[in-house]
Structure 1
Amino acid sequence: MSSLLETPVARRTANSSIQLLLGRDLINEHIAREHAAVRKEVISAQPGHRTREDLAYSYDRDHGALKRGLPMRTLYHSSVRRVPTVGAWARNMSDAGAEIRTLNGRFPRSIVFDRRVAFVPAHRSDGDPSPDEAVMITDPYGVGRIVDVFDMFWERARPWYGGNGRDDKGLSTTGTQRAILRELCQGRTQAQAAKNLGIGSAWINEQLGQLRKKLGVQTLNEVIYWWATSPDQEEDD
Structure 2
Amino acid sequence: MSELHRPGGELPLTEADFEAYRQIAEGYPPPTGYNPDRLIALRLVDSDPYAPGGFIPHDPRAAAQGLTTAVLRDLTRLTEQVAHIPVLERLAEHFDPHRLYGGPGSEFLSTAALMNARLGEVGAAALKEFLSVQPGEPADRDPAILRLGVERTRTALRRGVHVRSIYHRSAHEHDQTREYVSAMVADGADVRASNMPGPRMVIIDGRHLFIDNLVIDGAEGNSGWHVFDRAAVAWVRGLFDLFWDAAERWQDLCATREASPLSERQLRILRMLAAGYAQQQIGSRIGLSERAIAKELRLVRHALSAQTTYEVMAWYGRQQLSQETSST
Q: Give the TM-score normalised by structure 1.
A: 0.75
Tell me: CA distance 1:173–1:105, structure 2 relative to 1, closer, same or farther (3 Å). farther
* In 2, Cα distance between equivalents of 1:169 and 1:64: 32
Aligned to 2:129: 41
* In 2, Cα distance between equivalents of 1:143 and 1:63: 25
Tell me: CA distance 1:78–1:229, structure 2 relative to 1, closer, same or farther (3 Å). closer
Cα drift, residue 169 of structure 1? 10
SS in 2 for 1:189: helix
In structure 1, the gaps of 5 or more residues are 1-14
* In 1, Cα distance between equivalents of 2:193 and 2:290: 20
**Conservation of the 8 A alpha-carbon contact between 1:24 and 1:133:** yes
- Cα RMSD of the aligned pairs, angstroms, is 3.4
In structure 2, the gaps of 5 or more residues are 1-102
* Structure number with bigger Rg: 2
Tell me: CA distance 1:138–1:125, structure 2 relative to 1, closer, same or farther (3 Å). closer
Aligned to 2:256: 167
**Conservation of the 8 A alpha-carbon contact between 2:173 and 2:263:** no
Is 1:133 matched up with 2:206?
no
- Map 1:29-108 onto structure 2 (within 5 A): 29-48=117-136, 49-53=138-142, 54-108=145-199
Tell me: CA distance 1:71–1:50, structure 2 relative to 1, closer, same or farther (3 Å). farther
**Conservation of the 8 A alpha-carbon contact between 2:164 and 2:190:** yes
Cα drift, residue 67 of structure 1? 1.8
Aligned to 2:281: 189
Q: What do residues 179-220 of structure 1 show as CA deviations (whole Å, max 9, x unaligned)?
A: 22333433563431332xxx78887555322222215224x5
Aligned to 2:71: none
Higher relative contact order (CA 8 A, sep 6+): 1
Identity %: 24
SS in 2 for 1:230: helix
**Conservation of the 8 A alpha-carbon contact between 2:193 and 2:253:** no
Deviates more, 1:205-214 or 1:78-87: 205-214
**Conservation of the 8 A alpha-carbon contact between 1:73 and 1:100:** yes
Tell me: CA distance 1:227–1:151, structure 2 relative to 1, closer, same or farther (3 Å). farther
Q: Give the TM-score normalised by structure 2.
A: 0.56
Q: What do residues 144-197 of structure 1 show as CA deviations (whole Å, max 9, x unaligned)?
A: 121111111111111114x972526988866543322333433563431332xx
* In 1, Cα distance between equivalents of 2:290 and 2:162: 35
Deviates more, 1:131-140 or 1:113-122: 131-140
* In 1, Cα distance between equivalents of 2:319 and 2:216: 35
**Conservation of the 8 A alpha-carbon contact between 2:127 and 2:160:** no
Q: Number of residue pairs matched?
A: 214
Tell me: CA distance 1:229–1:71, structure 2 relative to 1, closer, same or farther (3 Å). closer
* In 1, Cα distance between equivalents of 2:201 and 2:311: 34
* In 2, Cα distance between equivalents of 1:79 and 1:33: 30
Tell me: CA distance 1:223–1:57, structure 2 relative to 1, closer, same or farther (3 Å). farther
- Map 1:211-230 onto structure 2 (within 5 A): 211-213=300-302, 214=304, 216-218=306-308, 220=309, 222=310, 226=313, 230=317
Letter in 1 for 2:271: R
Bigger fraction of residues in strand: 1
Choose the corresponding residue for 1:117, options 185, 190, 208.
208
* In 2, Cα distance between equivalents of 1:168 and 1:160: 11
Tell me: CA distance 1:66–1:165, structure 2 relative to 1, closer, same or farther (3 Å). same
